[in-house]
Amino acid sequence: MHISENIHQAHTLPAAFYREAGTFETVKECIFASTWQWVAESEVIASPQQVWPFALLPGVLDEPLLFTRDAEGRAHCLSNVCTHRGKLVVEQPGSQRILSCGYHGRCFRLDGRFRSMPEFDGVENFPSPADDLSRIPFAEWLGLLFVSLQPAMPFEELIRPITERIGWMALDTLRYSPEHSQDYEVQANWALYCDNYLEGFHIPFVHPALNQAIEFGKYEYELHPYCNLQVGIAKEGEPCFDIPAGAPDHGRRVYAYYYWVFPNLMFNFYPWGLSLNVVEPLSHQRTRIRFRTYYFDNAASERALNQLDLTEMEDEAVVESVQRGIQSRYYQTGRYSPTQEQGLHHFHRLVQQFMNGVG
């Protein structure tokens, strides 16, 4: 795998990357274990002494973890595996003063520190730090919780380009809308879905309704170390942001800010709020797309104008067609449009970087 730094010379990821189960096994550890993953809304641990167990990327990383909020209101992310014999410590969400393993009674504080263990009198060099539950790096942003097992970069570095560009938005007013959120399953490799998202090149060919709403000739791309941005400019009569004076895009009719964050998070900011797309791999040829909708205050009625559901169906159809196509013995790799596929090239360069262990 070699993606030239020069987009004019570069070839895309080889077809084998998308279709081989063995490659997918490498991707799990090289990419997903070292990057930040969305987990849930922070409401799951809204109250003191609340606990919420989960598996990080079920079926892929499948790491048993636990969010807690202690009596002082501090949040923690911990390994959910007892340090005695490996049983899951917390099986169900709820409220607990201490964490108690149901196998042999080992107890931990809500910050993961070892508290007590019956029948261990006389055990030498016990307890030690190894008897605490491991602490896992996590971050909270936009009322959302993110986790990384072995982060290759600080979360703040990851999102800094976003906050610097759109910090003028009322991001603290975003509210989750479960009735406008749903999951889709796509019969395609997770990276193909990202490939499709990362270029607006296909919009005139695949998304006629979206193409009627934006000025395709004014579509813009902007690259950052671990994320990139696509800016859609609204045609006259289409909804757009009211951007205040002093903001980077003041005076422009911005239809949407489409932010992709490596490797699989998509933050789509519209005048009505945020559409978060989480691309969760299930296997080398199956992917779950979690669509989560968050409204700004008093803006809920505008979501339908962006026709997100129609756009998603169009994207799924084309991505599944590509998944079938790359099985061909006649397709190995492609080339990039220098004007329209900078984001795609950026993604593939990051894949190469992480697969080579230099993320």
Q: Which CATH number characterizes residue 248's domain? A: 3.90.380.10
Residues 137 and 160 in one domain: no
Is the pLDDT at 238 greater than 50, yes or no? yes
**Structural domain ending residue among the three candidates 82, 115, 141:** 141
Q: Which residues pair with 66 in a beta bridge?
A: 53, 78
Q: Give ∠ CA 310-288-46 in degrees, rounded to 5.
A: 100
- The C-alpha atoms of residue 319 and residue 334 are separated, in whole angstroms, by 16
Residue 167 located in a structural domain: yes
Percent of the chain at pLDDT exceeding 70:
97
Residues 178 and 209 in one domain: yes
Q: Which domain holds residue 105?
A: 37-141
- The C-alpha atoms of residue 121 and residue 85 are separated, in whole angstroms, by 17
pLDDT digits (tens, 9 = 90+) for 5-36: 999 999 999 999 999 999 999 999 999 999 99
Residues 115 and 173 in one domain: no
**Structural domain ending residue among the three candidates 141, 169, 200:** 141
237 Rama class: left (phi>0) / alpha (psi -120 to 50) / beta: left
Q: Which CATH number characterizes residue 122's domain? A: 2.102.10.10
Residues 170 and 30 in one domain: yes
Indicate the number of domains in the chain.
Answer: 2
Residue 165 located in a structural domain: yes
Q: Whole-model pTM?
A: 0.94
Supply the angle between the helices 21-30 and 342-355 in degrees, to the nearest 10: 80
pLDDT digits (tens, 9 = 90+) for 131-189: 999 999 999 999 999 999 999 999 999 999 999 999 999 999 999 999 889 999 999 99
pLDDT digits (tens, 9 = 90+) for 313-357: 888 899 999 999 999 999 999 999 999 999 999 999 999 999 998
- The C-alpha atoms of residue 18 and residue 82 are separated, in whole angstroms, by 37
Residue 130 located in a structural domain: yes
Strands (E), the chain: 37-41, 50-56, 63-69, 75-79, 94-95, 99-100, 107-108, 114-116, 138-141, 144-147, 175-176, 182-186, 220-223, 227-233, 254-261, 265-270, 273-283, 286-295
Residue 2 located in a structural domain: no
Strand 254-261 with 265-270, pairing = antiparallel
Task: Give me the chain's average pLDDT, please.
Answer: 93
Cα 308 from chain centre: 18
**Structural domain ending residue among the three candidates 117, 141, 165:** 141
Q: Do 266 and 277 meet the contact criterion of CB atoms below 8 Å apart?
A: yes
